[in-house]
Amino acid sequence: MSSVLRSTTFGSVAHALALSCVALLTVAACGDDNGGSGPGAAVATVAVTPATPAITVGGAVQLSASTRDSDGDVLTGRSITWTSLNSGVATVTQAGLVTGVGQGTVVIRATSEGRSGEATVTVTGVPVSSVTIGPDSARTSATVAVGDSLPLQITLRDAQGNVLTGRTVTYQSSNPAVVSVSDNGLVKAVTAGGPVTITATSEGRTATATINAIKPFLLTQVGGQNLPAPIPGNPSLVVVGGRIILYPNGRYAGRINYQTGPVVDEGTYTQSGTQIVLTSTTGTSVNATLVGNVLTRSVFTFVQ
């Protein structure tokens, strides 16, 4: 009886020892497998998200990178190095924060243990928020004599009021048969008429200027020389080379060409019927008579 008991006890102990060895061997084998997700697993892939973000110049986006082993299991605590392949378009910190520098597309790369992943970042300019257009920064209307041209000034700004450059602008005339406009904003009076609306558009934002086209008439010096000048009648008349400009507010400005050479002058004028007196800032004056569409100077006292 005791012999049988000793045999059974010995067999149980041997079986238990055998199972323990199997368990130890299994654990040892698992610990030697570098393809798993344990501390010794190698990085097999790197994924960057978001993969195709878009930002504006001066804007930023946060990227993140995840590492996985060959089984697709996520690995944590691995070192990541961030690189911008074109720092002129965007820069990136070692925390993965991308900042737009200039317009364009750039690849941002994340590298870990020789493996890398990429994101393609598109950087666009700050959008146009407002458009202004006119003969100058203070006016949005003008009068141009037939045959003359006038460049319009356009200003684009962002939402913070900063001036934007290098943007595409298109121009359109509401009546090109009266006032035409070129691709670069040069308006030309084709025939008398108006008002004509010139519309400038950039990135969906628009602004308008009003242009009137007027018929020229002649300022004739006694002795026969003819000096062209536009007909007055609009408070936004502008000085045009070779023209005498009469403003409805009683002021004039212009370039008078006569025998002694060109003289630029300005001052005030008064009109009584067909009689007009131009008085310069120097106190000299010109008396003239309006006959039809010809302004005839009967007295000439301006000197250079």
The model's pLDDT over 164-207, given as tens digits with 9 standing for 90+, comes to: 988 999 999 999 999 999 999 999 999 988 899 999 999 999 99
Question: So what's the pLDDT on residue 252?
Answer: 61
Q: Tally the residues of the chain.
A: 304
Q: Where in the chain is the domain with CATH 2.60.40.1080?
A: 45-124, 130-214
Give the DSSP H/E element, type plus range, for residue 280. Answer: strand 275-280
Fold of 45-124: Immunoglobulin-like (2.60.40)
Q: For residues 47 and 68, is the Cβ–Cβ distance under 8 A?
A: yes
Percentage of residues in the chain with pLDDT exceeding 90? 45
Question: So what's the pLDDT on residue 296?
Answer: 53
Q: How confident is the model at residue 256 (pLDDT cuts 50, 70, 90)?
A: very low
| C-alpha closest to that of 300 among 263, 252, 273 | 263
Superfamily of domain 216-300 in the CATH hierarchy: NlpE, N-terminal domain (2.40.128.300)
> Beta-carbon neighbour count of residue 43 at 10 Å?
19
Least confident of 115-124, 192-201, 225-234, 263-272: 225-234
What is the pairing mode between strands 170-173 and 193-202?
Answer: antiparallel
Say whether domain 130-214 belongs to CATH 3.90.870.10. no
Strands (E), 90-174: 90-92, 97-100, 104-112, 115-124, 130-134, 141-145, 149-151, 153-157, 163-164, 170-173
Largest CA distance in the chain: 158
Q: Where in the chain is the domain with CATH 2.40.128.300?
A: 216-300
The model's pTM is 0.51
